[in-house]
Amino acid sequence: MKLFKFGGASVKDAEGVKNVLHVLQTVGHEEVVIIVSAMGKTTNALEEVIKNYFEKSKAFHASLQEVRKYHNQILLELFDDENHEVFYAVNSHFADLEYFLRSNKSPNYNFVYDQVVSYGEIVSTTIVSHYFNEKGLSNQWVDVRNLIKTDATYRDALVDWDQTQKRISKQIKKKGLYITQGFLGSDENNFTTTLGREGSDYTAAIFAYCIGAESVTIWKDVPGVLNADPRYFENATLLHQISYREAIELAFYGASVIHPKTLQPLQRKEIPLYVKSFVNPLLPGTSVSKGADLEPKTACFIVKKNQLLISLSAIDFSFIMEENISEIFALLHQYKIKVSLIQNTAISFTVCVEDKFGHFEKLKSVLSKKFKVAYNENVSLYTIRHFTPEAATMVEKGKTVLVRQTSRETLQLVTKE
């Protein structure tokens, strides 16, 4: 059994859906599980719906209708007959979403978020599944929420591996083509949960681990894993082969091609991962597998924008000791603020963090009771794996370097443009 994952860019419009069909016809679709993300920027659009919902904005209904119109246009371009059952199925999903938004009583933003954004994946897979059946590619649509069980940490749920293993093993047999959703799971009360933003790669790894898959392929709009993001760096080059270890390092530091959680389940069972182009599906792409000899022979550049640099010092100029650091990390964990870099001196402690849930103001209020708090907003964190002096000079050019940290293999720079 193989796992294929197609992200939002691959199904952003009708032509994209047709191309996914072409990819499968080109590379084969026997004994394949396909994980599909929400179409295009649907998750962003649904986040806007949630924002308007909580703010009781007049734009709420219009923002929801925009999401419906977007998907309806794709349907009209894929299906000639407006009486096709797919129109009923998609309308039924949106009716369920609207019912939830009318009847919900929970003030919990994260809970509401997961219930609402999940419809992006539910609708996209419904459309793709019906289109494939229409074109003679028989498949089984599967609701992933019945298979991946998690705790109730909405927006960043933890997988219950025992339950998930049993359910996936029972549902996914060694024959046929299955289509299911990325990013989603459900808690013990069967409320929808999500696995963290961009979690569809992780979904593919979960399925692969549970069924002992032959391989996982992530289909992207790039030829594979590049040594740099071409949006920020010129002359990015393809990494043909890398080890699990190197891929985990790159993902940890923020490389966007592979989700950070994806590699660990695959490494445990030594399931190879391929990152390939859905534009040119016969190109070899990048393979990720076991082997210390697969380290890149070139510098790899990663940049994370919109970071926060926080510096703490004791109010009475006393040392920052282990108990202080332990308390600081407990608070960072409590407020779900992800740490990307740490640096400390005798009387100060500095962290570069990502505040994806918008909790920094609350954290700052708590920290200010014990520490002097200084911070810089909208900084960039550059990481250079296998760095050279020339690579460092190139990144530093034209920027103010606030923090510089060097280890044997890695250079990290926090900069202000």
Q: pLDDT for 258-267, tens place per residue?
A: 777 898 999 9
pLDDT at residue 31 in the model: 94
In angstroms, the CA 171 to CA 165 distance is: 10
- Residue 292 has a pLDDT of 56
Tokens of 387: 């760095």
Query: Which of 362, 256, 387, 364 lies closest to 309, judged by CA?
Result: 364
Joined together, the tokens standing for residue 370 give 């014990």
Locate 159 and state its tokens: 């997988």
At residue 231, does pLDDT exceed 90? no
Q: Above 80 in pLDDT, residue 257?
A: no
Mean of the per-residue pLDDT values for the chain? 93
Residue 158 is encoded by which pair of tokens? 């933890």
Q: For position 258, what pLDDT does the model report?
A: 79
Highest mean pLDDT among 109-113, 324-328, 404-408: 109-113
* 7 belongs to an annotated ligand binding site: yes
Q: How confident is the model at residue 104 (pLDDT cuts 50, 70, 90)?
A: very high
pLDDT at 359 over 70: yes
Q: Which amino acid is at 264?
A: Q
pLDDT above 80: residue 269 = yes
Please tell me the predicted confidence (pLDDT) of residue 229: 86
The per-residue pLDDT for range 39-60, each reduced to its tens digit, is 999 999 999 999 999 999 999 9
Q: Is 231 annotated as a binding residue?
A: yes
pLDDT of residue 413: 96
Contact assessment for residue 383 and residue 411, using Cβ atoms and an 8 Å cutoff = yes
Residue 322: predicted pLDDT: 87
Q: Is 338 annotated as a binding residue?
A: no
Query: In the predicted model, what is the mean pLDDT of residues 92-104?
Result: 98
pLDDT tens-place string over residues 309-348 = 999 998 887 888 888 899 999 999 999 999 999 998 888 8
pLDDT band at 295 (very low <50, low <70, confident <90, very high): low
Region 228-235 average pLDDT? 86
> Could you give the domains of the chain?
2-220 (3.40.1160.10), 300-416 (3.30.2130.10)
Supply the pLDDT for residue 249.
84
Separation CA 60–CA 216 (nearest Å): 39
Q: ∠ at Cα 255 (251, 259), nearest 5°? A: 50
Q: What pLDDT shows up at residue 320? A: 84
When mean pLDDT is compared across 159-173, 240-254, 263-277, 359-373, the lowest value belongs to 240-254
What burial letters (b/e) apply to 205-239, b meaning 16+ CB within 10 Å?
bbbbbbbebebbbbbbebbbbbbbbeeeeeebeeb
Q: What is the pLDDT of residue 293?
A: 61
pLDDT score recorded for residue 314: 86
Q: What is the pLDDT of residue 345?
A: 86
Query: Beta partners for 370?
Result: none
Q: Is 6 annotated as a binding residue?
A: yes
The pLDDT score that the predictor gives to residue 294 is: 61
- 6 has a pLDDT exceeding 70: yes
Confidence check: pLDDT of 198 > 80:
no
**Is there a binding annotation on residue 8?**
yes
**Cβ contacts of 80 within 8 Å, gap of 6 or more:** none
Q: What is the pLDDT of residue 246?
A: 87
Side chain identity at residue 377, one-letter code: E
Q: Are 245 and 296 in contact (CB under 8 A)?
A: no
